[in-house]
Amino acid sequence: MPPNDHPYDAYFEYVGNLHIHSRYSDGAAAVHEIARSAKQVGLDFIILNDHSYMAEYLHLQDEGFYDGLVVLLGLEIGGRYHHYLAYDIKEMISGRSLGPQEVIDRVNAQGGFGFFAHPFEKGMPFSEKSLAYTWNDLSVKGYTGVCIWNFSSRWKERIKTVFHGLFFLLFKSQFLKPPSRKTLSFWDKLCQQKKTAGIGGSDAHGSLFKWHGIRLKPLSYEYLLNSINVHILLYKPLSEDFAEAKAAIYEALRQGRAFIVHENLASARGFKYYYVSDEGWNLTMGEERPFQTGTLFIKIPKEGEIRLIRDGTVERRWRGNQVSFRVKQKGVYRVEVYCHLSVFGWRPWIFSNPIYLR
């Protein structure tokens, strides 16, 4: 069924974790071990993005169903100032020397697609060796979207001293920062020009951290695979045929028919955000159509603070779990939801892709 005519209550929701590193680059575990952890935390799919300059091959033979979990392999390609999360590629793209536009073009030439990985990251202030891998040339073209929320990047930015390290290790879920304002405003501006999908990622490495004889694994796979997840909406249940399942997952990510969740706070399965026009057609996240008056509906699985953002500005805030909003003007509308934790207050939880009413 074509988009726009699909009934808003008939999507099939699947939860995955993206941007995972394995032993093929600088991660600490093998693909099947990561798949086992993902299965344990209840995910439906995972996508690995090993660094192309560290991995020799694109190990597509490792893709498949692992005890019902879909495992896909992309890459993280690029040099010092452009890390690109590439998906649906058919063969290895190597070379740290490729410029940012070249990376995007090579991915597109293979029928793949991709996202800026962490375009405005700040690095870890505590470690002088910690570099911020920002994306500097924002004039590039042809990318699909932006990873708006990277767990590892956002977590690192809080570590200014040993004390901060210990504190944010204990309360890593409770104090995780939302996507940065810079990233969100960049994304909002892109979306106003044209549809630009947003995703989130864990950037899981499972690495050991060594400091003056102390060895610890601050962010394990088990933890990170249930941190920043991406929920996709499919028109049909996920196929048992691997090629079909892979195509359906990639199509939802390309279109941005998805929302991004900090799942350690609470599961967001069942979150709904859709538009019903007065003429009766409807849209969900990642879909667009010329504007006609209608109503936006937002349902969340538990009470939260809901913010409706129109063209980058907060249009309305509510507390509750089910709200609606009459839309009288065109715009790009997305939703943020904050979840209340006693002591810690309102914490960032769900970030939807926009509904585009042009």
Residue of this chain nearest to Zn ion (CB atom)? 83
In whole angstroms, how close is the CB of 90 to Zn ion at the nearest point? 21
Could you give the CA distance from residue 193 to residue 283 in angstroms, rounded to a whole number?
19
Under DSSP, the state recorded for 191 is H
- Smallest gap from Cβ 293 to Zn ion, in A, equals 43
Identify which of residues 204 and 357 has a Cβ nearer to Zn ion in the complex: 204
Least distance to Zn ion, CB of residue 133, Å: 5
Nearer of residues 26 and 62 to Zn ion, judged by Cβ = 26
**Residue 142 Cβ vs Zn ion, minimum distance, rounded to whole Å:** 19
Instruction: Name which of 82 and 347 has its Cβ closer to Zn ion.
Output: 82
Q: What is the CA radius of gyration of the chain?
A: 20
For every residue of 250-312, DSSP letters joined together read HHHHHHT-EEEEETTT---TT-EEEEEETTS-EEETT-EE----EEEEEEEEEEEEEEEEETT
Closer to Zn ion by Cβ: residue 82 or 246 = 82
- Please, which residue, 116 or 275, has the CB nearer to Zn ion? 116
The rounded distance, in Å, linking the Cα atoms of 49 and 26 is 11
Q: Nearest Cα to 86, choosing from 264, 286, 254, 214?
A: 254
From the CB of 87, what's the least distance to Zn ion, in Å?
Answer: 14
Considering the complex, state which of residue 203 and residue 287 has its C-beta at the smaller distance from Zn ion.
Answer: 203
- Residue numbers at the binding site for Zn ion (CB under 5 A): 76, 83, 117, 203
Return all residues near 187 (Cβ < 8 A) that are at least 6 apart: 145, 146, 148, 196, 198
Calculate the CA 83 to chain-centre distance: 15
**Amino acid identity at 199:** I
What is the distance between the alpha carbons of residues 228 and 248, in angstroms, rounded to a whole number?
Answer: 21
Query: Which tokens go with 235?
Result: 């028109």
Query: How many residues are recorded in the chain?
Result: 358
Could you tell me the smallest distance in angstroms from the CB atom of residue 49 to Zn ion? Answer: 6
